[in-house]
Structure 1
């Protein structure tokens, strides 16, 4: 910012710092049009115009400054801000990129550019730009929060957690930001930090404060329900009566939708499925964005399913998946190409000959290795995870993508997966295991000597990496009738853009399922892992025998604690998967064969599934 060199510029600066923006603008009319004073007076004028939301005139003023002194990054940055606020996003981006080229180490410029990308819903460049800003200024909290939000939308859970590290100690956030932050903290299982964030949210002035209190109450209720604290959620629901929501003005539709959604979730918990369906229909009618429409439509489908209204279920699911495809299109549009591959690892295989050429390496014993729980999503992996976690000798870390991240790390260093697994040295393999366990230790700092349970369904596509690092590990493949699996996937609001696309139709799902099991069978034949097949239908019908067999496979003398999994699950503060409510209710056969009520929609995909169904021992 230049030093004022004229009396007029000094007067404008004094008025600006006193908050007298109209006086600054009035003084600017006296400015000469040439000389050194012109730059100073233009600067104070532009800043005052921005402060009074005169963004069009501010853009014109900073455009003049950027032409007068094109080497000054701050002028381009302010020009970009004024253009963004006036709605000229193309000019805004061009000016931000110029500012960045002049000052590549300026975190503020990167932050502002990242906000522009967020406004444009260009999530991937927003994510990278905001993370670059944080790399330059690690204590730039606003940048960390917005970077985390972009990571959240992109499904980058690890980077989201890194951006939110220490968030419970951040200063109170404006209420709108606090709602976003609390939602992200809850997704990563930090309920206390989420509630703390909401409790300290800074409310807006005036009548908007009352609406924001309702939104915060709705989110608190959702957090309690999501963490299985149903009675606490019901207590809080008293702060959110339906009559109050109905009386909100038209401009408060978002608050109304969030409140109705909270009521609907608890109606589902109370088996008032008709009431929940009516509420979700009301939310769907006013949902402000794709995320809101998808959530309401999935909720409506679930409520109709409980009432046996299959045609209404299917109609709601069409709406839900259309909204999710729109979300995925803004994040990873290439996933919607006809030849896209949502299951990225499904074509990565090691041949028998390639495996025989692997360099021999020493590795941990079975008891020093994780127990890997794998299978296609919605195959009963969460049920098994909670059973294992209920045993005092084991501890699960909820669903983490650490094995996938090791593969990504290899490729970032120029190695090809899985081909270069053959060439790993002992030191490199030890380093990969060390990276894995460092991440585990951050997730489970109190694990001690308990055996680790790594439950991530699609680790089934990463068997080469598992067998290279942990060849003695016990691996449990969860199986369930493929049609029940597909129906359950189709009815779930997955956050991953890749899974939004994969689950957008039964045919895509069937193709993905067949592809995943085709790769799995090839790799099992090559590696011959120490494997147990855990069949959901057998667990439901012969629970005690299944628990005993599981204990024998894992070398457990007393497997009985695993039978008390539902009690254990109710004591946990957070379970990340869609099964968070079901696993607290014990074993039930209600989900077995549920797909048959939807057979008319499955008929077209049965020819795709039938070979795998027969291979796995299932009939249609």
Structure 2
């Protein structure tokens, strides 16, 4: 039996184990090997019985509880699996594989927060445990922890080829982080299984490639991929192959929408809303349907789809941030962190880089035109953007992990402290933009507007561009977007909550502008689209560049660039147009209840109704 096990011949092992006699009287090794063979060959309940016998005989052996937990998970008994794996960890808390198995169980149950914690613990016990790193990254991805996912995937380019199922997960995350080439390579090297699953997994890889091409604005290449995955074949798939069906229909719908085939796309997305009960998938399909109905001028249908999308997102977010669903909660936690004039006066003067050696920060409430401006700057040979990164937020977290309060302890930072924070920031940038060279960095993250104290402590001479757009258009656009952050899902779940968040964010911004007097250029979307050349000159003057004309070719640059992480990835390839101006007016009746919240800030920003 041991020889058969070592050779991987599970069918022979099963036959030998069955010939060994009554399992009730078999010795521990026979039971252990027989259980492994039974589980491997699909006789899960028989394996469960034998592993239970082992734990009854030797309740002090962690490995037996681990085997029982895995068999229970495979048998669809999550309660027993959790108890057994918990007992295995109690007996051997330093065993990374047991932590990993428990993390997998939590992931299958979509208990993402505890899955993330458990899988990260497995990686801390065994840093080179690739499967644990992959699954930990996936849990971080679902929790909106982009930084955590990046850390777990560090070095993924050197990982061996992954089994197809894991390769799909890995490619999904690499693509969302902007590592498109590595994601395509991961799919190309995926190891397909033998047997009936091979074709389905190969087709899911095809769907994934097509989706990545669409997401990179390479529509014709997406269409070419989909030739091998026709709609008729997806319609005839059995119920158990829902993952292939969903992935295929999703990308067919997205491509149809990009090609202007709106009604076909709408019907596909409408069907996808009921394909699976997963709240995340349902929300994504509903948001896409709403966008198409809006383009078609079917406003009530669009709003109905949005209501469905937000209800699904709230079900998803409830598991992550239940405290934010309480009345009076604040999804934008940074708005409570302020520096007064008196506190600013206590800051000790420190050496800092000049304007030309500091990043250019592009800020503003999400959906205010920040991606458009970022692509304009990135099209200029003197600048290099790095897509949307939360590096300033990461520095705040590092301060807090070091036991320092933000922003109160900014006053007590020494020159060495500030230099170290800038070095950490530079290291993060180097990882994303190794080709930066002498170009000026563009750090575009809209909600860095809430981090002005940290920016001014590290880069007091930095030039900051505040993107503005009519608040109602901003809210409309935010309300129609499937944001990944659970906190932002809650913020955008109603126009009223969103309006209050918008006002809170700008009140926070203006308080700090009065305290710090930063170098700020206001970049007003409506003025830019109506007088583009004039504002291009202003932008060049503000950034002290001799020739700003390369920025005018941003649409061409964006098409060539490929992957853009924000929801505006398609719009920025279309050039300047006025389609997004006053878009909210078509839904004015929905906005009437929140206009009293917005009017004071609208007036302060120079907007009327």
Which band: TM-score by shorter chain?
over 0.9
What's 2:399 paired with?
A: 410
1:23 corresponds to 2:12? no
Equivalent in the alignment of 1:237: 226
Moved more, 350-359 or 134-143: 134-143
Q: Is the 8 A contact 1:24 1:44 kept in 2?
A: no
Residue 308 of structure 2 corresponds to: 319
The residue aligned with 1:148 is: 137
Matches within 5 A, 1:222-301: 222-287=211-276, 289-301=278-290
Deviates more, 1:555-564 or 1:136-145: 136-145
What's 1:369 paired with?
A: 358
Give the structure 2 partner of residue 4 of structure 1.
none
| Contact 2:528/2:535, CA 8 A, preserved across alignment | yes
Distance, in Å, in 2 between the alignment partners of 1:492 and 1:203 is: 35
**Local SS of the residue matching 2:551:** helix
Residue in 1 that maps onto 2:531: 542
| Contact 1:429/1:469, CA 8 A, preserved across alignment | yes
* Match of residue 61, structure 2, among 50, 72, 82: 72
Whether the 8 Å contact between 2:13 and 2:33 is mirrored in structure 1 is: no
Q: 1:198 aligns with which of 172, 187, 191?
A: 187
Cα deviations by residue, 1:393-432 (Å, 9 ceiling, x for unpaired) = 1111110000000001111111110001111111111101
Q: 1:426 & 1:252 partners in 2: Cα distance?
A: 59
Aligned residues: 606
Per the alignment, in what secondary structure is the counterpart of residue 487 of structure 2? helix
**2:122 aligns to what?**
133
SS at match of 1:476: strand
For the Cα contact (< 8 Å) 1:16–1:24, is it kept in 2? no
Q: Give unpaired runs (5+ residues) of structure 2.
A: none
CA distance in 2, matches of 1:443, 1:432: 17
Distance 1:157 1:228 in 2: 23
1:606 match: 595
Q: Which runs of 5+ in 1 are unaligned?
A: 1-11
Q: Give distance in 2, aligned partners of 1:469 and 1:224.
A: 38
1:85 equivalent in alignment to 2:77: no
CA shift for structure 1 position 52: 4.2
Deviation at 1:16, TM superposition (A): 5.0
Partner SS state of residue 278, structure 1: helix
Task: Find 2:551's aligned residue among 562, 565, 568.
Answer: 562
SS in structure 2 opposite 1:130?
A: helix
Partner of 1:459: 448
CA distance in 2, matches of 1:87, 1:242: 32
Q: Over residues 19-39 of structure 1, what are the superposed CA-to-partner deviations in whole Å (9 max), with x where a residue is unaligned?
A: 334434434534785xxx744
Q: Shift of the alpha carbon at 1:54?
A: 4.2
**Matching residue of 1:360:** 349
Write the deviation string for residues 89-127 of structure 1: whole angstroms up to 9, x where unpaired.
233223323322332322111111111111221212211
Report runs of 4+ in structure 1 exceeding 6 Å deviation.
none
Q: Deviation of residue 385 (structure 1)?
A: 0.6
Distance in 2, matches of 1:450 and 1:16, equals 58
**Contact in 2 for aligned 1:277/1:303 (Cα 8 Å):** yes
CA–CA distance in structure 2, aligned partners of residues 209 and 176 of structure 1 = 10
Residue 67 to residue 243, structure 1, CA distance change in 2 (3 Å): closer
Match of 2:522 in 1: 533
Question: Residue deviations 1:205-229, cap 9 Å, x none?
Answer: 3444333333222221111011011
Q: 2:436 aligns with which of 412, 423, 447?
A: 447
Contact 1:257–1:283, Cα closer than 8 Å, also in 2: yes
Aligned ranges for residues 461-540 of structure 1 at < 5 Å? 461-540=450-529
Aligned-partner Cα distance in 2 for 1:16–1:181: 30
Contact 1:374 1:460 in 2 (8 A): yes
Match of 1:8 in 2: none
Q: Normalized against structure 2, the TM-score is what?
A: 0.95
Other-structure match for 2:168: 179
Which residue of 1 is the match for residue 201 of structure 2?
Answer: 212
For 1:542 and 1:263, locate their aligned partners in 2 and report how far apart those are by CA, in whole Å. Answer: 38
The one-character-per-residue Cα deviations of 1:537-569 (angstroms, maximum 9, x if unpaired) are 110111111111111111111111111111111
**Offset of residue 455 of structure 1:** 0.3
Q: CA deviation at 1:602?
A: 0.8
Instruction: Indicate yes or no: 2:429 matched with 1:437.
Output: no
**Cα RMSD over matched residues?**
1.9
Moved more, 190-199 or 607-616: 190-199
Question: 1:189 maps to which residue?
Answer: 178
For residues 125-156 of structure 1, the C-alpha deviation after alignment (integer angstroms, 9 at most, x for no partner) is 21122122223323222111111110110111
What is the CA distance between 1:518 and its match in structure 2? 1.2
Q: Indicate conservation of the 8 Å contact 2:17/2:30, yes or no.
A: no
Per the alignment, in what secondary structure is the counterpart of residue 333 of structure 2? coil
Deviation at 1:274, TM superposition (A): 1.9
- The residue aligned with 1:5 is none
Distance 1:493 1:139, change over 3 A: same
CA distance in 1, matches of 2:335, 2:133: 33
Query: Secondary structure in 2 aligned to 1:99?
Result: helix
Give how far 1:503 is off: 1.0
* Residues in 1 aligned to 2:446 and 2:266: alpha-carbon distance in whole angstroms: 31
1:373 alignment partner, SS class: strand
Q: Is the 8 A contact 1:392 1:450 kept in 2?
A: yes
